[in-house]
């Protein structure tokens, strides 16, 4: 298996898909155990008088590293000529580096060390994630990508739950970080022990030039319009979703007047959302493969996601929030699997799969940075939560409409 640049033809087996999904879930556990639980607890310890600012510095610094690291390591994996393949060495290095970063966090007792540890986690786990994502167009034929994308989406949700559960069960603190580190490494082992990745012969690696390498990260709408529209679709849908979820706790407390603790309400809505997402993410990917169509599924997913935001704007009660959470899970489940398959179908060249997917993944992380800047003035000065959720719905619908500008897939 040395033709790393050929279009994959043979279907991948269940064992490979399961090992890839487990590794993907392990990476998400390494991210979300800290994000959901551990970083907030640690910020209160290292900066008790300024815990909110400390947490913002740590997570903001990590997010900045993430935006750069994913396309960078994707590009480096494209050029890797190891006898173990293009992607596996970066998965191995990434999970080990991520575990090391979690170890630094476990020992951190000052804010600078905490920030350094989290930046290392983001740097390393993005290397692993970029390589795992690029393995799909490397190995999976077009007719199977929706199915594999669905399993990866399910693994993502389960990984978030596993990381949060491990951090909580370990009691937070150092034990929580070490539990997440162990799970991240062990979860990647089946993939690393599976038959090797496709090997890129040295003579097929393009010559390196710093200027050309840097220029390769620019996504040209003129040269690659399908990929540009796919990027914009993902960006707008994720931005609308991020805006809708950002102030959910305050929405329950100040608008819905939730009877109990608003934190418990958010947990219930998250559970409902996760359940309906898991119920649809794999099924939608399988159905998309069987019909050999992508765009209608992304369109209807966008309509469902936008509909959930409209419900939050118009039906401002606890039952309305529950229905919106369920509807959002259905829509995002369909979108997660089918949009991933669509993007892998419009990648311009086999030689740059990792880099291009890394650039596309910025459409996942950038909305989390922009959402607070957009949402805060809307809630404060431009109409409050009703306007906020209508804005979120409009952005999602714009993204869903953009998918029809893509010509290379149905």
Q: Is the pLDDT of residue 208 over 70?
A: no
CA angle (406, 408, 409) in 5-degree steps? 85
pLDDT of residue 127: 95
30-34, 366-370, 398-402: least confidently modelled range:
366-370
235, 366 contact by CB (below 8 A): yes
Model confidence pLDDT, tens digit, residues 60-78: 888 889 888 988 898 898 8
pLDDT of residue 1: 43
C-alpha distances in Å from residue 183, one per residue of 48, 125, 193: 29, 13, 16
DSSP E strands in 53-93: the ranges are: none
Closest CA to 360 of 333, 332, 341: 341
Percentage with pLDDT > 90 across the chain = 42
Q: Is the pLDDT of residue 2 over 70?
A: no
Domains of the chain with bracketed CATH:
14-201 (1.20.1250.20), 225-405 (1.20.1250.20)
Mean pLDDT of the chain: 87
- Helix residue ranges per DSSP H, 79-144: 88-107, 111-139
Instruction: Provide φ and ψ at 60, rounded to 5°.
Output: -65, -40
What is the mean pLDDT of the segment spanning 335-350? 87
Closest CA to 1 of 88, 112, 99: 88
Model confidence pLDDT, tens digit, residues 363-397: 887 887 787 778 878 888 888 889 989 999 999 99
C-alpha distances in Å from residue 109, one per residue of 105, 121, 174: 8, 17, 11
The confidence band for 200, taking pLDDT boundaries of 50, 70 and 90, is confident
């Amino acid at each position: 298996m040395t033709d790393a640049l050929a279009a994959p033809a043979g279907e991948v087996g269940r064992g490979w898909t399961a090992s890839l999904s487990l590794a993907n879930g392990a990476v998400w556990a390494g991210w979300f155990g800290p994000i959901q639980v551990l970083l907030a607890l640690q910020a209160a310890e290292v900066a008790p008088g300024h815990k909110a600012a400390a947490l913002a510095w740590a997570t903001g610094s990590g997010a900045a590293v993430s935006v750069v690291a994913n396309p960078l390591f994707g590009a480096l994996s494209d050029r890797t000529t190891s006898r173990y393949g293009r992607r596996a060495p970066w998965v191995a290095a990434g999970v080990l580096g991520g575990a090391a970063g979690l170890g630094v966090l476990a020992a951190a007792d000052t804010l600078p060390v905490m920030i350094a540890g989290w930046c290392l986690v983001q740097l390393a786990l993005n290397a692993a994630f970029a390589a795992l994502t690029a393995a799909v167009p490397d190995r999976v034929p077009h007719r199977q990508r929706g199915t594999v994308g669905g399993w990866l989406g399910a693994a993502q949700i389960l990984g978030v739950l596993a990381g949060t559960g491990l951090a909580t069960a370990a009691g937070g603190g150092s034990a929580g970080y070490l539990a997440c580190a162990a799970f991240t490494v062990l979860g990647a082992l089946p993939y690393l022990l599976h038959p090797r990745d496709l090997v890129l012969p040295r003579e097929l690696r393009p010559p390196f030039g710093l200027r050309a390498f840097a220029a390769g990260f620019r996504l040209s709408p003129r040269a690659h319009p399908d990929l540009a529209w796919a990027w914009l679709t993902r960006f707008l849908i994720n931005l609308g979703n991020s805006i809708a979820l950002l102030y959910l706790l305050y929405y329950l407390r100040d608008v819905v007047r939730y009877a109990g603790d608003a934190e418990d309400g958010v947990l219930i809505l998250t559970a409902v959302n996760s359940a309906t997402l898991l119920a649809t993410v794999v099924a939608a990917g399988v159905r998309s493969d069987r019909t050999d169509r992508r765009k209608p599924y992304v369109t209807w997913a966008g309509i469902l996601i936008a509909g959930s935001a409209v419900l939050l704007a118009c039906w401002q009660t606890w039952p309305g929030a529950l229905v919106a959470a369920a509807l959002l899970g259905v829509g995002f489940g369909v979108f997660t699997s089918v949009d991933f398959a669509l993007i892998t179908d419009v990648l311009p060249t086999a030689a740059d799969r990792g880099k291009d997917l890394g650039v596309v993944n910025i459409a996942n992380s950038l909305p989390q940075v922009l959402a607070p800047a957009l949402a805060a003035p809307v809630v404060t000065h431009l109409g409050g939560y009703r306007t906020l959720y209508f804005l979120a719905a409009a952005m999602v619908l714009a993204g869903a409409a953009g998918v029809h500008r893509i010509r290379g897939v149905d």
